[in-house]
Chain A
Amino acid sequence: MLSRAADAIYWMNRYVERAENIARFIQVNLHLSLDQPMQMRSEQWAPLVKVTGDYDRFLERYGEATQESVIDFLTFDREYPNSIISCLDRARENARSVRQIISSEMWQQINTFFLMVSGVHKGIALEVPDDFFARIQMVCHTFTGIMSATMSHGEAWHFGRIGAMLERADKTSRILDVKYFILLPQVQDVGTPYDNIQWSALLKSASAFEMYRKKYGRIEPRDVAAFLILDPEFPRSIHYCLLEVERSLHLITGTPANTFVNEAERRVGRLRSGLVYTDIGEIIDQGLHQFLDGLQAQLNAVNDGVAQSFFPVNPTISND
């Protein structure tokens, strides 16, 4: 397939995944803040912007992090390239440039979705914010489902899958990083109901709460980190995402497993096999933050490897 088209499909999926993650973070935070003492509610919102890595940009434009300003920034701000509305806009522009490759159903879904969010009146959407953000997540899942059910699982589909999985791994690592950092130092809270609520919220931010319960039962910070980083079966864990990226890459190139023909395969293979033989104790000893920082750098390196190996042409839309 055309390199430019592969690039567009990759980014289309990354942006849809990004929009879904942001909507979920916001929704979970809305719930969480209701359980907070009044005076602490606003402290809950700054970390959400920190997750994105764009905190400075936010402060410059909005000053203080309140529920309103953060939701505005992350959802409706068209000047901010990673807001939900900007992600959908770019997902749609990428989709438009490969309309001949994706199915008509996919195009219609993403087009209708964009029109829905861009046409919505902010005030009305936020009257029942829970509904609004739940709907965004559901529409993103619908898109992924439609893509899976209407498009051949060939090369183009796998490029989309790689984009979505890399984005998801990145987001899981970021939410874990930020939340863990805030939660752990408060030793006096360990084991209190308040602490449990916070850790549950982190799991819910990754849609992981129920699956975690089934596997571990009690909520332990260590197990939460292990589940989100190392679990090979949970679809939002970093390990799972990398397995999928690797599988799709090998299906594209036809290279046998555990070998590589390009930088993308080499980098993801090394990163993924490292995780197989990593123990959570080792990560905690090393420092979770340092570990996740290094991991994010390696995810970026995989992204660059994919671009370098397959997308040498300048893209239509300037994707980041």
Chain B
Amino acid sequence: MNFSGYDPGHFYDELIDTQGKPREGASLLIDRISGLPDGDLRRRQEAAELVLLNMGITFNVYGDDAGAEKIMPFDIIPRVVEAADWTQIESGLKQRIQALNLFIDDIYHDQRIVKEGIVPAFVVESASGYRKECAGLQPPSGIWCHITGTDLVRDESGQFHVLEDNLRCPSGVSYMLENRQVMKRTFPQVFGASHVRAIDDYPDRLLQSLRYLAPEHIPSPTVVVLTPGIYNSAYFEHAFLAQQMGVELVEGRDLVVVDNLVMMRTTQGLQRVDVVYRRIDDDFLDPGVFREDSALGVPGLMNAYRAGNVALANAPGTGVADDKVVYAYVPKMIEFYLQEEMILPNVQTYLCWNDDERSYVLEHLDELVVKAANESGGYGMMIGPHASAEERADFAERIKADPRNYIAQPTLALSRSPVIVDDHFEGRHVDLRPFILNGEQIYVVPGGLTRVAMRKGSLVVNSSQGGGSKDTWVMASTAQEGDHA
């Protein structure tokens, strides 16, 4: 199998340039792949899929009770990110997380950014992730968002943009790590010869960041991962991270709060917990404070948190920044808090609560992507150019009924990367979700989850909508070659 008939089309292709030549970082990879005997690639692809199935690297799809468990489609041709591109991504993400963290801290304290008229009060207060109960909280070291996954896309010129922030409970990092393991088995020679930056120390760094949250007087803090349980779509990841960090994976019913201390029920009685990496939403954390009907949470957890007896990562209330209207203000936050210019741009965003912008959106529904501000996972969105007249009319009504909850963006010509389709390669649209840890310093893992819209022409990469993934190879620059070897 080779790339002779491969057509990058009108899109930016991650591996092949407009002349049909491999991009610099991908040239060794393309060279080796093209040299493989017929059928070899297909065999490697099948072997990789079997590994994933046997490892049980699956996710659950809601509302699909027959065979609720699926393997995430995986394509063995990696996506390559050049060292220079990565430098911009890394510094852009650090800047963004710093600003977002200052924003969250601000809105739960003095609300300077609102008072100075930069972000309207109603935008903050109506964001579904805003928790008025969090006002005045003082998380350890002033850090709210410890673990973030930010979705990036690349336009036809090759420029990266931030599409979405995920500060509540970003998932996908386990797929990033497992994809890499599978690739090392699948292409050991190519991998060995390429200068790909290592990502395997992520669990270790995550554990360090979590331990950093514990009060200083505790020399060896007890960290746990809090999961909603085995039926959650990301359960695999919760178990994987707990296992890789060597900490307990707990459910709400394993924890109890006694005298404002969080304890877990063990075979030897109650044991104190110092840091909770929680993978359940704010609403379910503590039925005494948020949703009363939550059976997943721990009554009294928020009081223990307020008293400083336990640390939560991410802090409750960070979800305010996941709102897609709030997202549109990030460039202004960066100016306001950091007096800097944004390094990694946002996608141009029209806010439907604004009368002028709404009129524009309603007149251009056939060109724009419309998204509900509070939804994720590819739900609640309409891709104008692909939508029927009825769907557009439906969204027009929804926008008029609840303008605050809708934004629109130009339909991006997302970049593509080659995937194996039967006996040849075809380009498919991809995005990139790098992961950022915020502890003693801000750290961006040199890699990420590349999600692929496996259906031809589709722009939706979410796993719940038939998306797959690829390994992401961030290439080392000459200066970094040392740390690779």
Contacts and interface: CB of A to CB of B under 8 A. Distances in A.
Given A2-B254, A100-B248, A252-B267, A115 B54 contact: yes
A311 B268 CA distance: 10
B266 A3 contact: yes
Q: Give the interface SS of chain A, mostly helix, strand, loop or mixed.
A: helix
A108 B253 contact: no
B389 interface: no
Given A2-B248, A111-B54, A312-B265, A97 B254 contact: no
Given A2-B254, A313-B265, A314-B253, A96 B248 contact: no
B54 A93 contact: no
A97 B267 contact: no
Contacts of A159: 267
Contacts of A100: 225, 239-240, 242-243, 247-249
Contacts of B242: 100
A107 interface: yes
Nearest to A311: B267
A316 B296 CA distance: 12
A312 B55 CA distance: 31
Given A2-B264, A99-B240, A100-B249, A108 B55 contact: yes
Contacts of B266: 1-3
A108 B254 contact: no
A78 interface: no
Nearest to A103: B243
B54 A108 contact: yes
A308 interface: no
B136 interface: no
B250 interface: yes
Contact of A1 (B243, B251, B267): B267
Contact of A3 (B53, B225, B254): B254
Given A3-B254, A100-B242, A314-B253, A93 B230 contact: yes
Nearest to A159: B267
Contacts of B55: 104, 107-108, 111
Contact of B265 (A3, A97, A107, A112): A3
Given A111-B55, A316-B230, A155 B267 contact: yes
A316 B230 CA distance: 8
Contacts of A5: 248-249
A313 B254 contact: yes
Interface string B260-280: 000011110000000000000
B229 interface: yes
Interface string B46-85: 0000000111100000000000000000000000000000
B108 interface: no
Interface string B15-38: 000000000000000000000000
B191 interface: no
B86 interface: no
Q: Give the interface SS of chain B, mostly helix, strand, loop or mixed.
A: mixed
Interface in A261-302: none
B229, B240, B242, B266 interface centre (most CB from chain A within 10 Å): B266
B251 A316 contact: yes
A87 interface: no
Contacts of B225: 100
A225 B55 CA distance: 43
Contacts of B265: 2-4, 312-313
B443 interface: no
A4 B254 contact: yes
A245 interface: no
A4, A93, A111, A252 interface centre (most CB from chain B within 10 Å): A4
B235 interface: yes
A189 B480 CA distance: 84
B230, B247, B248 interface centre (most CB from chain A within 10 Å): B230
Contacts of A104: 55, 243
A165 interface: no
Contact of A96 (B230, B251, B264, B267): B230
A237 B207 CA distance: 46
A101 B55 CA distance: 15
B77 to A, nearest CB: 25
Nearest to A113: B54
Given A2-B265, A108-B54, A108-B56, A313 B253 contact: yes
Contacts of B236: 99
Interface in A204-251: none
Contacts of A6: 267
B235 A96 contact: yes
Contacts of A2: 248, 250, 254, 264-267
Contacts of A310: 267
Interface in A78-121: 93, 96-101, 104, 107-108, 111-112, 115
A1 B250 CA distance: 11
B51 to A, nearest CB: 9
Nearest to A99: B239
A311 B267 CA distance: 7
A182 to B, nearest CB: 42
Given A99-B240, A99-B243, A115 B53 contact: yes
Nearest to B248: A2
Nearest to B54: A112
B253 A4 contact: yes
Contacts of B243: 99-101, 104
B56 A3 contact: no
Contacts of B54: 108, 111-112, 115
Contacts of A312: 265
Contacts of A311: 267
Nearest to B264: A2
Contacts of B248: 1-2, 5, 100
Interface string B217-253: 0000000010001100001100110110001111101
Contacts of A4: 251, 253-254, 265
Nearest to B256: A313
Nearest to A312: B265
A96 B60 CA distance: 13
Contacts of B235: 96
B230 A97 contact: yes
19 contacts: A4-B251, A4-B253, A4-B254, A4-B265, A93-B230, A97-B229, A97-B230, A99-B240, A100-B240, A100-B242, A100-B243, A101-B243, A108-B54, A111-B56, A155-B267, A312-B265, A314-B253, A316-B229, A316-B230
Given A252-B267, A316-B230, 19 more contacts: A1-B248, A1-B266, A1-B267, A2-B248, A2-B266, A3-B265, A3-B266, A4-B253, A5-B248, A99-B243, A100-B239, A100-B249, A107-B56, A111-B55, A111-B56, A115-B53, A115-B54, A310-B267, A311-B267
Interface of B: 53-56, 225, 229-230, 235-236, 239-240, 242-243, 247-251, 253-254, 264-267
Interface of A: 1-6, 93, 96-101, 104, 107-108, 111-112, 115, 155, 159, 252, 310-314, 316
* Smallest CB-CB A-B distances: 10 pairs: A100-B243, A100-B242, A99-B239, A111-B56, A100-B249, A310-B267, A112-B54, A100-B239, A3-B265, A6-B267
